Amino acid sequence: MNTAIEFSNISKQYRLGLVSTKTLSHDLNRWWQTAVLHKEDPYLKIGSVNDRSTKGDSEYVWALKDIDFKVEQGDVVGIIGKNGAGKSTLLKLLSRVTGPTTGTIKARGRIGSLLEVGTGFHQEMTGRENIYMNGAILGMTKYEITRKLDEIVDFSGCERYIDTPVKRYSSGMMVRLGFAVAAHLDPEILVVDEVLAVGDAEFQKKAIGKMQDVSRGEGRTVLFVSHNMTSIKALCCRGILLKNGIVDYDGGIDETIDRYLHSNRVKPLGTIIDSIKYESQEIKVFSVTVNGSECNIVEMEIPNRTISIRIEGELLNDIPLAIECLLYDSNRVLLAKFAPTLFQTDLKQYKAGSFIINEKLELPAEITNGEYGLEVDITYPKVQYLVRFVDAIVLKISGATAAYGNELRYSDNGFLVLR
């Protein structure tokens, strides 16, 4: 079988706090050491491990370190790991969005990439014009794009808005259009990075079916990053687990998922919730409390379904804040999404200094007994995440009788429920 992708000793180094890693003094030092003294690049000897949860001892960080693996033609490989493990950086290197610090990447065939919502879209151009532009970027001729245009538009489900500038599109519509272009313009290698999570359940099912057709029916190679373990397991035959920028495990998809879920367990019962803290140049979070509990595992007995969330912290600037909560089952499958303030048009403006956020939400009636992970995110409205507390809080539900199914609907209290 032919090798489609080969990573050889790939490492990627970033300098913290700067857009560029280069300064004149560093360039002169690098030139002196390598060109004049014929020594190894001194900046490749420094740098801390890519662990976002700890304070580093260097201004340099290795986002990826010594990555070596091969992907055979026709394989569907799932790349999983915690946020900040290096998954997106790995795909950006493959897609040539950025270059590696050391090592080489060999890819045989045209690469179709869907890395972020709206990547490569021109906001002032229509959906139709962006299809042609993205197709040209992927190396397709105008004739080839025209021949598949109707199929792309139909798959995207955006036919009514295809001649509308994409700046009017929602994030879900841009994902639909971007995926349709990448999947239908015959790339030998398809790279998809978690953007399907933005789409609705119907489109996720359609997209996964298309990736299965591309890999199994057409023998094309797929690299798929997702936090949805059900999608990963249904689609992929092999998994690669990244941890702190290195390959922690490479093997069968079932074994990779088991290893990821085992390493991703939350702290045991009795861990004080005050240990959930965060600090950046914009915000400090002192504590996150759920139902007044001092532990990160919160026991709830049905029929009580009310979750009270209290966040205390400090802001360094005047900004509006919003919070978003996501509920996962033990297999990291997203069950419900709750955004009590995220989409309000008149958000409260928080002043610099101490702040307290109090929110209440109701669990959907479909939730049954068991353990669930509650992710709490603090964000600028519709812009970016400030803080993401992933796998920090566990809800232990007892006394429930109902179970969820597999349809998509909105409950009365605002939860987006996958039932």
Among 203, 236, 262, which residue terminates a domain? Answer: 262
Same domain flag for 281 and 255: no
Q: Are residues 118 and 18 in the same domain?
A: yes
**Separation CA 97–CA 120 (nearest Å):** 11
In a domain, 11, yes or no: yes
Does 300 share its domain with 242? no
* Last residue of one domain, picked from the residues 227, 262, 297: 262
Bridge partners of residue 241, in order along the sequence = 80, 249
Starting at the earlier edge strand, list the strands of the sheet with 102-107: 60-72, 3-15, 102-107
Is residue 62 located within the same domain as residue 188? yes
CB 224 within 8 A of CB 79: yes
In a domain, 267, yes or no: no
In CATH, what number is assigned to the domain containing residue 410? Answer: 2.70.50.60
199 phi, psi to nearest 5 deg: -75, 165
Between CA 53 and CA 16 the distance in angstroms is 15
- 301 in the same domain as 255: no
Per the DSSP assignment, residues forming a β-bridge with 71 are 5
Domain for residue 268, yes or no?
no
Q: Are residues 169 and 129 in the same domain?
A: yes
In terms of domains, do 371 and 297 share one? Answer: yes
State which residues form the domain around 401: 273-418
Q: Are residues 255 and 293 in the same domain?
A: no
Number of domains in the chain: 2
pLDDT of residue 205: 73
pLDDT on residue 235:
82
Residues 170, 34 share a domain = yes
Which spans in 169-252 are helix H?
Answer: 171-184, 201-212, 229-235
* 200, two tokens: 């609705």
**Largest Cα–Cα distance in the chain?**
74
Tell me the torsion sign for CA atoms 197, 199, 205, 208: negative
Whole-prediction pTM = 0.58
pLDDT of residue 403: 43
Same-domain check for residues 136 and 212: yes
Q: Which residue, 209, 119, 125, is CA-closest to 165?
A: 125
Strand pairing report for 283-290 and 319-320: unpaired
Tell me if 328 is assigned to some domain: yes
pLDDT of amino acid 413: 39
**CB–CB of 275/303 below 8 Å?**
no
Nearest to 331 by CA among 390, 263, 257: 257
For residues 74 and 221, give the distance between their C-alpha atoms in angstroms, rounded to a whole number: 4
Please tell me whether residues 323 and 412 are part of one structural domain.
Answer: yes
To the nearest whole percent, how much of the chain has pLDDT over 70? Answer: 75
The verdict on residue 45 lying in a domain is: yes
Helix (H) or strand (E) holding 24: helix 24-31
Q: In what order do the strands lie in the sheet with 238-243?
A: 111-114, 189-193, 221-225, 76-80, 238-243, 246-252
Same domain? 53 vs 77: yes
Residue 139, domain CATH? 3.40.50.300
Residue 350 lies inside a defined structural domain of this protein: yes
pLDDT tens for the chain, 419 residues: list them.
688 899 999 998 876 655 444 566 666 766 776 777 776 665 555 544 445 444 445 567 788 889 999 999 888 899 998 877 888 889 888 888 888 888 999 988 878 777 765 567 888 999 999 999 888 877 778 898 899 999 999 988 888 899 999 888 887 788 888 888 877 877 788 888 776 655 666 777 777 777 777 777 777 888 888 877 777 887 888 999 998 889 999 999 989 988 887 765 544 433 444 457 777 777 888 888 888 876 777 888 888 778 888 888 898 888 888 888 888 877 667 777 777 665 555 567 788 889 888 888 888 776 778 888 888 888 776 556 678 777 678 888 888 764 433 333 333 434 444 33
Q: What is the pLDDT of residue 361?
A: 83
Can you give the pLDDT at residue 259?
Answer: 84
